[in-house]
Amino acid sequence: MSTSDLIKLGIEAILIQNVILTQFLGICPFMGVSKKSQSAIGMGLAVIFVMVISSGVTFVINDLILQPNKITYLQTIVFILVISGVVQFVEMFIKKTAPFIYKTLGIYLPLITTNCAILGIALINVQPEKEFGYAEMFVYTIGISIGFTLVIYIFSTIRERLENANVPKAFKGTPIALITAGIMSIIFLGFAGLV
Amino acid sequence: MNFTSILTMTLLVFGLIFFYAIGIYLNKKTPLPSGCDLPSLKCEHCTSTSCSYSEPNRVEQIKTEIKNSLKNKNSGEGAINE
C-alpha cells in the first residue's frame, strides 16, 4: 500500500468510518465522560494510548499464533484477556515512570478495559476481508482513536453549552444529548463520499 | 483438531489469564505517585448497577426523583380539581 493510500485510510478511519458515529462503538464513554471537555480530552488520549498498544499486540498474536494454528475462533476471548492485561501493565508502567501522565490519564485507564471500541477495533483489524498488514493496521487504529477523541471532544463542548441553554424540561440531560449525538451522526454521514 | 492446536490453545488461554492476574497483582502493589489523588468519575445516564461508570445509589436516586415528581403532579391535579 502506497503512502497516499495510507493517508486515505487514515482520513477514512477518522471521518468516514468514525468509531462512535458510524460504527456505534464506545457509546458508553461517549455519553458518560463527555460532560466536561477536560475529561473528554483525558478519555480520548487514554483511548489513543491503549487502543494503539492493544491493537498492535492482538494483531501480532493473531498473526503469529492464532492463524497458523487455525484457532481464530479464540479471537474474542484472547483479545479480551490481552486488552485487560495490557491495561493493567500500562497503568503500572505509567504510575512508576510518568506521574504527570498518570494524573491526566490514570482515572480513565481502568474504565477503558470495558470500552467496546477497543475490542471492536482489535477484531476489525484482523478480519480477513480487510487484508490489513502491519502498516495499515497501525494507521487505521491511530485514525480510529483520533476520530474517537475528536468526536467526544466536539460533543463535550456542545454539552457544556447545552448546560446553559434554555432546553425544555423534558429534554434536559440525556434526551438532548442523544438528539445531539443523532444530529452529529447524520452530519458525519456527509463525509461518506470524501475518499 | 490435532494435538498441537489443543496444546497451543490451552497454553495461550491459561498464559493470558496468568498474564492478566500478574498484571492486576503488580498494579495493585505499585504505589500511587506522590500527590496524585484521582477524582472519582461517575456517569448518571442509566440505571445499570453493573457498569463501572455507574454512580452508586443511582437506582435509589431515580426512585426518589420519580416519587417526588408523582407527588408534585398529584398535588397539582388536586389543586386544579379543587
The Cα A81–Cα A51 span in angstroms is 14
Check residue B57 and give left, alpha or beta (phi > 0: left; psi -120 to 50: alpha).
left
CB contact under 8 A, A65 and B36: no
**Chain A residue whose CA is closest to B8:** A69
CB contact under 8 A, A74 and B34: no
Q: Smallest Cβ distance to B8: which of A33, A65, A84?
A: A65
Q: Is the pTM of this model over 0.90?
A: no
Q: Which residues are CB-neighbours of A130 under 8 A, at least 6 positions away?
A: A124, A136
A35-84 pLDDT per residue, tens? 888 888 888 888 898 899 999 999 999 999 888 888 889 899 999 999 98
Q: What does the block give as the cell for A86?
A: 495490557
Q: What does the block give as the cell for A78?
A: 484472547
Residue spans of alpha helices (H) in A12-133: 27-32, 37-61, 75-97, 99-105, 109-112, 116-125
A95-146 pLDDT per residue, tens? 888 777 777 777 777 777 667 889 999 999 998 888 888 999 999 999 999 9
CB contact under 8 A, B23 and A69: no
Q: Smallest Cβ distance to B41: which of A95, A107, A177?
A: A107
**Chain A residue whose CA is closest to B19:** A85
- List b or e across A123-133, with b for residues whose CB sees 16 or more CB atoms inside 10 angstroms: ebbbeeeeebe
The Cα A11–Cα A195 span in angstroms is 8
Dihedral of alpha carbons A28, A32, A34, A40, sign: negative
Helix axis angle for A75-97 and B3-29, nearest 10°, is: 30
B65-82 pLDDT per residue, tens? 888 888 887 776 555 544
B52, B65, B73: best to mutate for the A interface, most A CBs within 10 A: B52
The distance of A159 to chain B (nearest Cα, Å) reads 14
The pLDDT of residue B27: 86
ipTM: 0.74
A19-29 pLDDT per residue, tens? 999 999 988 88
CB contact under 8 A, B5 and A31: no
Q: Output DSSP code: residue A14.
A: I
CB contact under 8 A, A92 and B34: no
